[in-house]
Structure formats: structure tokens, C-alpha cells
Amino acid sequence: MSIRHPWRVSALIMAVGAAPAVAQNFEYESNVGFPDFGFMVSPSDYKGPVFALADSFPETIPPLDPQVEQILSIDFETDPMAYVMAVRDYVFTGNIHGGDVADDFILQNNAEGIGWYHMPWQHWGTTGREGYHGLTREGPLAAQVLAPEQRNSSYAYAVGFYNGPGGFTIGQVWNDPYGGPDLTHMIDAMETGFAFPEGTVVGKFLFTSLGADQVPWLDNPLQWNAYVYACDVYPALACPDGDAMQSAPRVTQAMNLLQMDIMVKDSRAEEAAGWVFGTFAYNGGAAGATEYADYGAFCADIPGEGKNWCNLMPVGVMWGNDPDNADTFINSTPTETVINTDLQQTWINPDEALPAMHLGFNSRLNGPADNPTSSCMSCHATGQVPSVSAIMPWLDGVAIPANGTQASEAWMRWFRNFEDGEAFDEGLAISMDFSMQMTKGIENYIEYRGQDEAGRFALEYWGSDGGAPISRGATIPTQ
């Protein structure tokens, strides 16, 4: 839903307690638009701001923001640190206000007028958006995957956002809030490339209910409230299966910032469909992290608790999947970060202040919340409609290779490089150009309509052949 006026005014009135309870905390919306969230605490128990989807998508490709022009001039291969930190600076600019962090990243309120947008149709289903900050439930965090002290498994919760060029593409596909997605732009782009135009930047924050007692680097946390499943919060209860999950109890919980992911459409990344991926881990305790806390024009000036956003330190950058390297190393319970210097298309931050990271398959880039058998690009390459291949090889029955062995050809199908516009299963599916939220949103819509109208859609047919639904991950089976 689009909003004409910022929420801050009424939030301030509420903060001083002068205003009576208000049903809406922002000025009236000009259109109903797409649903904003699927789960929220009852309004009789909460009077504060709620999440509103930023969906006033640009109808033409907007000019590049000067900061994006600067990012595209940095060489990500020779200076990946400068590249990824410039992206962090851009994501933060105008979105962090220096007061209560709950007011940060309300995209409609960007103080510099930089346009950022959310992906529709993430509200639907058991993992759908909650109503404080639009967080969706993500993949599982297995015990000890974050730190040796981590006794409990849990789930990550996350929200992603696209800048203007990315918002243009979202608006091409989701051009009618009352109708289904229009895939014309994505189909055309399989010929022409650049479904997402040059200079698209995507950011995403991941949060966890786990705290510093189990993950020491989450000390001095940055916290957002979220309305999450009670079974994802310590001491975790068992979560119900399948459809019962929809009605499983939720609670308002302070969640700790764990990770930030970024993607940049940069045509120089020729091996990887024109995408550069990067990730950051929250590091609130280590003194070594201060170098990052003051890095960049924006972080140097943030007052108050908002400064904690700047505790996100780079884990690494990837601009390809190193398809020729089939050596196997999977580090499910990291005690140290193992950097693989054989890789040509992944850079990992060598700073000793970086907490022990498991990374991805054979130390390709993956973040703390991600599956150690995968990599950012390995998983995102499967973003297509229908989801013919699962997000990870072992979900399609391919055996997980043992450490020290060569991975099979079947396994390495998930570690290919791609031309811009090329689908993972060419000829069977429409490429979503590495956007998992777009894939997931369309999958959600098809599922919803199928249930509502008791019918099946040709577009989902190949995706239903035992393939797993799009998700951020799954727990690795015991081997």
C-alpha cells in the first residue's frame, strides 16, 4: 500500500502519550494495493506503527542514484571490501534516522528521497510477513551453525527491499494489485537480458531470537520487535507440521539483527548473470569491529542506538560460482572461518575480528543463516517459475558429497555460472533473474488462486514433481 505521508508525526505524538489510541498510525492511504502482512498481534493489544508495503513502483527505469554510479565504478574483484562497504553505505543512507531503531527502514520515509520498494505477495502462507516490520519466516538455524555455544535450533526472520531500478521490474510483474503477476517482462528478458536493470540494488536483513548467551557476537544487539512463532523462540516448543502451522501461536518477540545480504546488478559480473552478491554478519562485541562501525560517510554520523546498524561487518563477496572447482568441504559447525584461496569468484574478509563462519560449499560465499552445503548464487540461480529444480541438490535426491572427495556432476549442476536471462532449467521455466522473493511471491499467488478456485495452473505443473518449494533453506539430513 502506498502512503502519502510519513508515519513519524503520529509516532511522535504517541511517544509523548498525548494522543488517544489510533486505529491507523499514518495518514490515510491513497490506494489499498497489495496486502501488507499476514500475521499481527491484535489491535486491542498494540497501538504502534504497523508495516506497510512500499509498492508505488516506478513506471520507467529511474536514473541511477549517484551512490550507485559510484558502486558501479569500484572493481569488485580487486577491491571487494570498498565495493561491499559502498553498498552498505547506500542501503543505510536516509533509511536510518538516528533515533529509535524501530523507525529505521520504513522505506516510505527515506530522508534523502531515495526510492526503495518491497516485493508483493510475501504475506501469504505459513511463512508470510508479520506486521511490525514485514519479516517473513526464513530457513532453520541448526544448533551450532552460528557458534559452538549455540545449543538451540531456531528460525531466521527477514525482510528484503529493492531500489528504484529493481522496483521498476517488480512493478512490471506486479502491475495490478487485483490481478495476477504479468510475466511478459521476465519472458522477454530471457532474450534480451537484464530482467532487473543495471544498478538494481537489493538489501535484506535477517533477525534471530537467539541472543549473546548462545551466539556471543550478538552481544550489544540491534533489536526489532517481530510477531513470530512461539515455537521459534527459546525455549522452543516443537512446531506443528504443515497446515497446522498457520494457526500455531505467535508472540511479540525482540529479535536480534544477525545478517545483512546485498545483491547488485552489475554488468561486469559476466559469469554470474550480471549479479554481485555480498553478505555481512552482526558483530556487536568484538573491539575489532569498530573499523566497520565508523566506515563510510553515513555510519560516521549516526547518533544513538542506530549506530548499531554499523556493527554489520563484511563476510565476503561473490561474483560467480567457481563451476570448475568440485572439491568438497562442508563446515556445518564452524569453529574457524576456512578461506579457500583456490576460489576465483568468491572473496572472504580475512579480518580476524570476523566470528567463525561456516560459509558455503567448499567455502564459497554464504552467510551465517545460510545452509553450509549451498552458496548465495547456487540457491538464487534456482529462482524460476515453475520451480523445476529444488533450491539445493540434496532436496532433489542428489547425494551430499563427503568432505575431501570430488562432488558429482549432478551436484555441480547447482554450481554453474549463468548468462543474463538464462533459466536454471532452460526450456522448462521462466527465469526470475535470481530474485527469490519474486519467485516465492508468484508461487504464493498461484497456490492461493489454486486453492481458492480449486484448480491447477500449467505454470506450476513442472514445479510440482517432487521439487521442494522455494525457501531459504532446510535442515541437512543426518548423513
Using CB under 6 A, pick the residue from 232, 261, 322, 433 that binds ligand HEC.
261
Tell me: does residue 435 bind ligand HEC (CB under 6 A): yes
What's the closest the beta carbon of residue 51 comes to ligand HEC, in angstroms?
14
| Separation between Cα atoms, residue 382 and residue 20, nearest integer Å | 49
List the one residue from 65, 103, 138, 322 that touches ligand HEC (CB under 6 A): 138
Buried b (16+ CB within 10 A) or exposed e, 155-173: bbbbbbbbbbbbbbbbbbb
**Among 436, 442, 446, 476, which residue sits at the site for ligand HEC (rule: CB under 6 A)?**
436
20 three-class SS: coil
**Closest residue by Cα to residue 419 from 170, 195, 202:** 195
Which of the stretches 103-111, 284-292, 323-331, 434-442 binds ligand HEC when contact is defined by CB under 6 A? 434-442
Residue of 385, 396, 440, 463 that binds ligand HEC (CB under 6 A): 440
N-to-C CA span, the chain: 46
Q: Which is nearer to ligand HEC, 1 or 348 (CB)?
A: 348
Q: How far is the CB of 222 from ligand HEC (least distance, A)?
A: 18
Task: Work out whether 471 is an interface residue with ligand HEC (CB under 6 A).
Answer: yes
Paired residues of 317 in beta bridges: 278, 347
Sort 131 into a burial class: Cβ within 10 Å, 0-12 / 13-18 / 19+. buried
Closer to ligand HEC by Cβ: residue 89 or 261: 261
194 binds ligand HEC (CB under 6 A): no
CA 435 to the chain's CA centroid? 10
Name the grid cell of 293.
562501525
Site string for ligand HEC, 218-257 (x = CB under 6 A): ----------------------------------------
Question: Using the 8-state DSSP alphabet, how is residue 110 labeled?
Answer: -
- Least distance to ligand HEC from the beta carbon of 144, Å? 18
| Residue 347 to residue 205: CA distance in whole angstroms | 21
Q: Pattern of binders to ligand HEC over 338-377, x per CB under 6 A?
A: ---------------------------xxx--xx--x-x-
C-beta neighbour count of 11 within 10 angstroms: 19
The residue from 181, 280, 380, 398 that contacts ligand HEC (CB under 6 A) is 380
Nearest approach in angstroms of CB 162 to ligand HEC is 7
Rounded to a whole number of angstroms, the minimum distance from the CB of residue 153 to ligand HEC is 16
Neighbouring residues of 42: CB distance < 8 A, sequence distance ≥ 6 = none
Residue with smaller CB distance to ligand HEC, 158 or 226: 158
**In angstroms, rounded to a whole number, what is the distance separating the alpha carbons of residues 29 and 479?**
53
Smallest gap from residue 120 Cβ to ligand HEC (A):
12
Residue with cell 533459466: 423
Where are the alpha helices (H) located in 225-382, listed in sequence order?
290-293, 296-299, 376-380
Whose Cβ is closer to ligand HEC: residue 56's or residue 279's?
Answer: 279
